[in-house]
Amino acid sequence: MHFNLFIIDTGHHEASWRLPGSEPLAHIDVGYHERLARVAEAARFDSVFLADTPVLWNDPGRRPSGRLEPLTLLTALARATRRIGLIATASTSYNDPFNLARRLASLDHISEGRAGWNIVTTAGDDAARNFGLDAQPAHAERYQRAGEFVEVCRKLWDSWEDDAIVADAGRGVHAEASRVHPIDHEGRFFRVRGPLNLPRSPQGHPLLVQAGSSEDGKRFAARHAEAVFTAQQTLAEAQAFYADLKRRAALAGRDPDGIKILPGLVPVLGSTESEALALEAELDRLILAEHARDRLAALLRVEPSRLALDGPLPDDLPAEDEIEGAKSRYTLIVELGRRERLTVRQLIGRLGGGRGHRTFAGTPEQVADTIEYWGAHGAADGFNIMPAVLPSGLELFAEQVVPLLQRRGLMRRDYEGATLREHYGLARPASRYAAPPPEPVTAGGPAFHLATRES
């Protein structure tokens, strides 16, 4: 199975920074992130991942807010590690494809083939207001732009053939111009001439990751994603999502095994079950209910005063198709509250750990059991591990859960490949502009071939 570490400063629980010993400047501390990435690499995770949105989306009082830009931070992590994959979130609504394709390819070069891109369309009017708009573009519009954005990036990533560089000093020819191609893209959202101003990167292009589970999101994932992060509360829902997405990928003409599905899991660990539950209770006690209610109200598009802390969710919440952003997260939260008949206060506790991801308080054996069970029952190709508290939750996971997973054959004991794509068992894509490779004749080849250069 595949394991991604989702890093968020002091942990996924919003009150984690209030625990004794937390590092209050973790969110802007590169050394802190390097230490986490090294622990994850020593534990043989496939990758680390950083979420992002181009807006200050928290009340800065509530928890550490305003983080280092992910592609920038991951470049530092690339040099502090050797094998683990590095997945950055970047928005297709508030970037240009030329610049973003270049930056992602730069990280892929610098990390020697370990870059991944979590493709997001960025929900919310607040983000739009940092980019000259009054309100966000409609959900469907954002996804249409995202589709074309990825298409442009892929053309740019293909624009240098792998063997374009010949470095023939005698002739004075560094690259063969005939193997470097303009892309001449003209679409509804973008006109981009190309080629990219960077030779093709070790993975051909970064691993493409997606995380929205709305109808538009699933359609997009089936077409483009090579890995999917998803929030799933129950086994049955996770199985349905898994089967649906694999089926959609097959219908789109893709190998269903070429899209890896990783539900989020927020482990709250203790050496006994009661220790784990005590930590969970302590964390929930530290949530400031007023803050959390305001935030839940914003997600649900209701006035905060309509949410009584000790009452159930209101009956008259909007339907998902009236929501213009974060659709699938909206539905998950409403269904969780109703299915388990939670009060607003209880729902806040459940969301404090992972904003909709599955929180699991228990012993290392119990965590390993649930991972194995979901994997064996068609619900997951792996997990997006989101420790409630960092670094301790990662350290405990690495020390106590990983050895169990390794003994059960669910997690690698050492890296076999060098690239993120190899960790996830995915092929390196060929450039669309390259002629099919000739039959091999001898052991020779071009003097400088990026895919095979020594690291």
The residues in 303-342 that bind its own copies, with binding defined as CB under 8 A, are none
Among residues 51, 190, 297, 434, the one that binds its own copies under rule CB under 8 A: 190
Helix pair angle (273-286, 344-352), 10° resolution: 110
Instruction: Please give, one letter per residue, the 3-state secondary structure of 93-106.
Output: CCCCHHHHHHHHHH
Q: Which of residues 279-308 bind its own copies (CB under 8 A)?
A: 286, 288, 291
Rounded to a whole number of angstroms, the minimum distance from the CB of residue 455 to its own copies is: 9
Contact indicator for 333, 299 with CB cutoff of 8 Å: yes
Please identify which residue in 177, 308, 376, 451 interacts with its own copies, judged by CB under 8 A: 177
Helix, strand, coil shares, percent, the chain, to 5: 40, 15, 45
Question: If residue 47 lies in a helix (H) or strand (E), which one and from where to where?
Answer: strand 47-50
Indicate if the alpha-carbon torsion angle 121, 123, 125, 129 is positive or negative: negative
**Nearest 5°: CA angle at 302, between 358 and 132?**
90
- Name which of residues 232 to 261 contact its own copies (CB under 8 A): none
Among residues 328, 423, 436, which one has the least CA distance to residue 112?
423
How many residues touch its own copies under the rule CB under 8 A: the total is 78
CB of 54 to its own copies, least distance (A): 6
Q: How far is the CB of 403 from its own copies (least distance, A)?
A: 31
Find the shortest distance in angstroms from Cβ 386 to its own copies: 20
Q: Which is nearer to its own copies, 205 or 358 (CB)?
A: 205
Region 123-162 residues binding its own copies, contact defined as CB under 8 A: 126, 129-132, 160
- By CB under 8 A, the residues from 97 to 116 that bind its own copies are 98-99, 102-103, 106-107, 109-110
Query: What's the min distance (Å) between Cβ of 26 and its own copies?
Result: 10
Backbone conformation region of residue 234, classed left if phi is above 0, alpha if psi is from -120 to 50, else beta: beta
Cβ–Cβ < 8 Å for 12, 388: yes
Contact 117, 50 (CB under 8 A): no
Q: How far is the CB of 58 from its own copies (least distance, A)?
A: 9
State which residue, 98 or 241, has the beta carbon closest to its own copies: 98
By CB under 8 A, the residues from 7 to 36 that bind its own copies are 15, 17-20, 22, 24-25, 28, 30
Q: Is residue 445 at the binding interface for its own copies, with CB under 8 A as the rule?
A: no
> What span, in angstroms and rounded, lies between the C-alpha atoms of 348 and 345?
5
Contacts (Cβ under 8 Å, ≥6 apart) of 90: 52, 70, 71, 100, 103, 104, 117, 118, 119, 120
31-60 positions binding its own copies, by CB under 8 A: 53-57, 59-60
In the complex, what is the shortest distance from the CB of residue 78 to its own copies, in angstroms, rounded to a whole number? 7
CB of 368 to its own copies, least distance (A): 32
Binding mask 262-281 for its own copies (x = CB under 8 A): --------------------
| Helix (H) and strand (E) counts in the chain | 15, 13
